[in-house]
Amino acid sequence: MSVRHRFIEASPERVFDVLADGWLFPSWVVGASRIRDVGEDWPAVDSKIHHSFGVWPAVIDDTTSVIEWDAPRRAEFVARGWPLGEAHVILAAKARKGGCVVRMEEYASAGPGTVVPAPLMVAMLNVRNTEALRRLAWLAEGRAGD
């Protein structure tokens, strides 16, 4: 399981504003290349983002669903990318002076990713999720003056 933390110079509410805008998904999720549709009720539990990942023309279409939405504290998603599998992703924000600390946790929950040796999977996810949190910070901090 990958666990990454980042201090973001924005409130938890601003961070969750970014998460609540499904059209921003490929702006902060590393590997997501486009959004095909965002459910009208996003980010309600069981709502979906229809996304693609990869580099054209080798893109794979799939979805990410909301499992839990407790803004501005915690959100849990199931990210699908078959035939590669599925992952659970949990984001949690805690207010701190001058912003918040966001914790991102991800683990393979179904498919081939579950048989990748843990040290290799964690190493790959750590790099990816460090960058995802950097992008999330840029979006949340950039919206701070809205």
- pLDDT digit string, tens, across residues 58-99: 899 999 999 999 999 999 999 998 888 999 999 999 999 999
Let me know: does 45 contact 22? Beta carbons within 8 Å: no
Q: CATH number for the domain including 115?
A: 3.30.530.20
pTM of the predicted model, to two decimals? 0.93
- Number of domains making up the chain: 1
The pLDDT value recorded for residue 55 is 84
CA-based Rg of the chain, rounded to a whole angstrom? 15
Confidence of residue 144 (pLDDT cuts 50, 70, 90): very low
* Domain assignment of residue 44, given as a range: 2-142
